[in-house]
Structure 1
Amino acid sequence: MNRKRPSALAACSRKRRHAATDGASTLQSDESSWASLHDDLVRLIGWRVLASDLLDYVRFRAVCPHWRSSTVCPRGRGVLDPRFHPRRWMMLPEGHGLHPGHDKLRKYVRFFSLSTGALVRARLPLFSSHCILDSVDGLLLLQRDQDTAVRLLHPFTGDIVELPPLATLRTGLSPIQHQILNWSFHRTVSATSFRVGADGVVTVMIALFNLARVACASTIDQQWKLSTWSISHLWRPMSFRGKIYMMRCPTFYSELQIFEIDLPQDEEDMAGSGGLCFLPEPKLIATCPAGKLQVPYHLAECDSEILVIGRNGRHSSHVLVYRLADIILDRIVPVTSIGGNALFVEERVLSVSSRVHPTIVGDSVVLLHPKEYYLGQYHLGSITWMPTADGCVIDNGGVPSPCSLIYHIFTCCHRATWNKGALLYQGELQPDWKVKKKWRQGA
């Protein structure tokens, strides 16, 4: 028996080795089959993945050296090629007194996906010398502290486009405006759009809400130029596919007009003098009859279309949502479904998938209840209100800590809070606080 045991063990050992060898060869065969995909096929799959999400594309390229070499690298093309824009990603306001890039965060800034709720972080040391003005297609519009130069940054690739100093806007102001307007008026960017020309020149247009003007500049310009016409002081504009959309309503009982502002097509459109720019005037594209929609009005982008949000009465708590395409066709019928998304409504509107958080209800509008003043969600199908997150009332007491991701998302809708990130949104009365030892607009 003792003599047979070594042979039995040897046989067992041989079986294990053969099994391990067969398994390894199968694994190598599987890996080699994936790694041997034709370059064109890998590239085609990569473009399909990129259409879903930029970071999925980055992970796809990291699978193996062959897939990486067969696909286009986003770095160096992050701003100039719209396919690489991180459209559904938003900078996360940290709260706890920590502005973006704070030393306690080791210069990291976190971003979250409006589609999945996924969180990633990027190390952005330049935040120590820049403040944030706005976000467009996931890109960040920054201002450099030392000279007010404006820069368009791709947070994941590090690509930067340089634009003229924001201080050059003052050349388009009158002497009286110079005296009465402080610097914060120049930083109230409520919408940004841009276009990349065939020659690689980037033209950027920003809507300055407090100035009630639009400004434009390109990467080959020396200064920003203001429009000769004004935008509404009441309703904030919105950018969509390289254009800016704005609303006008002279009185509470007037029809609502929606205008489209296009970027200048060539340098002649940018011509002007004294810091002014003869941009094409806003184009009226839709009119909503009086009585169909009441204040407050908001524009939103949702599933590649523009939505118009309002109430069914000045003092009503019922929310109405219309498709701009329907208003243009004179089909004034409110929608009850918005693709399972939720619209977070404040100064700006974010379309957020209900997959982001378990308490977000699809086909709803998340905003402050107009009468009871809590953060709630209005379901469009059942026309009912319900508390969102933990149901906490947002008042002078502030938001409890720890708190739901929903409060962080809602803070993103209020630019003056979002771009500092140090505190979460706390209602109408926002406390002032220092950022980088200064009382300032922006982190």
Structure 2
Amino acid sequence: MYIFTGWMYNTSATRFSHQIRKICAAVDVADEGIVTVMLAVEKIGRVAFAAAGDDDWVISTWKENQLDNALSFQGGSCMWDGLIHVSVIDPPRRRRREGEESVAQPPVPPPRRIATCSSEEIHLPSLVELDSELMLVGYNGSSLSRILVLRLADLAMGMIVPVANIGDHVLFIGARSLCISPGWLPSIGGNSIVCFHAGENYLAQYHLGTGSWSPASDGQLMLSPPSHPCSLIHHIFTCCYRQFWNKGLIFCSESEPEWWAMRKYRYGENLLPEFIEEENWPS
């Protein structure tokens, strides 16, 4: 188990521990059997990694402002920015030299841009993993009339090829996106996307083959959570929003989830500033 508190106490982030809980974790196993854990910490824009046997974490000397949408993929983290440049942070590669017991710690590699497309080609995109491939899912334009699915592999080659069929899968799109089998959801068939419609403000189901919209479930998620018992669709969609599911709440777009117990210990003092001092961060 890695001692993350050692890194915290060496920085001014100790007073802001509630702000470093939004992380994206990735695990990589190298050919030599070296296991590396990488944490993309959203609020401070830094990446930390440690391998099995390390005494401390290595922190990136660079900052990245788009870690709020980082997605763990194949041991690294993938993210996109407002201009829809998709980048990946690869796990550091360590090599154990013959005759040496320890492994030197390489620096954290900076983000590597792998694909680019414009907001005219896809609007309000999200990243999701489907069958070991990364997909960019968003609207076809500001009209929000259709949903577009693009393979990241195609974008990396400069091609815009909309995916018309995602097979026997349902994509749940939110702050974190999920891919599930429709066998768990008899009311929703495959080749579908479930999202909170950005224009109409309801939980919608979009069929990728027909281009048709329909309500994904009963219940209004705009002003208040649905009445109990909630459907499985509500529970799965809530899993896309950590600030709701980690409190046992159902997603509601107009509510601000709060802890019921020990709130001050979870969020810190109310008078804490909204920024993190950086005098002790690596440069």
User: TM-score scaled by structure 1?
Assistant: 0.54
What is the letter of the counterpart of residue 113 of structure 2?
L
Partner of 1:312: 140
Distance 2:78 2:243 in 1: 21
The unaligned stretches of length 5 or more in structure 1 are 1-161, 271-277
Q: What's the offset of the Cα at 1:188?
A: 0.5
Give the equivalent residue in structure 1 for 2:256: 430
Corresponding residue number in structure 1 for 2:231: 404
Judging changes above 3 Å, is the alpha-carbon distance between structure 1 residues 234 and 201 closer, same or farther for their aligned structure 2 residues?
closer
| Cα distance in 2 for residues equivalent to 1:302 and 1:312 | 20
**Contact 2:26–2:38 (Cα < 8 Å) also in 1:** yes
How far is 1:412 from its partner? 1.0
Identical-residue share of aligned pairs (%) = 37
Q: Which has the higher helix share?
A: 1
2:224–2:255 Cα contact (<8 Å) kept: no
Deviation at 1:198, TM superposition (A): 5.8
Describe how 1:47-62 pairs up with structure 2 within 5 A: none
Task: Please state if 1:373 is matched with 2:207.
Answer: no
On the 8 A contact 1:235/1:297 being kept in 2, the answer is no
2:109 is matched with which residue?
Answer: 280
Taking a change above 3 Å as real, the CA distance of residues 290 and 402 of structure 1, as seen in their structure-2 partners, is closer
- For 2:264 and 2:30, how far apart are their aligned partners in 1? 38
1:414 maps onto 2:257 in alignment: no
- Residue aligning to 1:341: 169
Give the root-mean-square deviation of aligned CA atoms.
2.4
Picking from 165, 183, 191, the partner of 2:17 is 183
- The Cα shift of 1:396 comes to 2.8
Q: Runs of at least 4 residues of structure 1 off by over 6 A?
A: none
Letter in 1 for 2:232: L
CA shift for structure 1 position 417: 2.1
Once the two structures are superposed, what CA deviation does each residue of 1:334-359 show, in whole Å capped at 9, x if it has no partner? 11211121111111110011111111
Which is higher, the Rg of structure 1 or of structure 2?
1
Q: In the superposition, relative to structure 1, how do residues 436 and 358 fare at CA in structure 2: closer, same or farther (>3 Å)?
A: farther
**8 Å CA contact 2:224, 2:254 repeated in 1:** no
Asked if 1:163 is matched to 2:6, the reply is no
Partner in structure 1 of residue 221 of structure 2? 394
Q: Which runs of 5+ in 2 are unaligned?
A: 95-102, 268-283
1:440 aligns with 2:279: no
Question: Counterpart of 1:321 in 2: which secondary structure?
Answer: strand
Residues 98-113 of structure 1 mapped to structure 2, 5 A cutoff? none
Alignment of 1:11-410 (within 5 A): 162-166=1-5, 168-169=7-8, 171=10, 173=11, 178=13, 182-189=16-23, 191-197=24-30, 201-233=34-66, 236-249=69-82, 254=83, 256-266=84-94, 267-270=103-106, 278-294=107-123, 296-390=124-218, 392-410=219-237
Preserved contact between residue 212 and residue 230 of structure 1 (Cα < 8 Å): yes
Q: How many residues align?
A: 259
Q: CA deviation at 1:222?
A: 2.4
Residues 192 and 206 in structure 1, CA contact (< 8 A), matched pair in contact too: yes
Counterparts of 2:42 and 2:177 in 1: how far apart (Å)? 16
Aligned to 1:21: none
**SS of aligned partner of 1:182:** helix
Tell me the TM-score normalised to structure 2 length: 0.82
The amino acid that maps onto 2:257 is: P
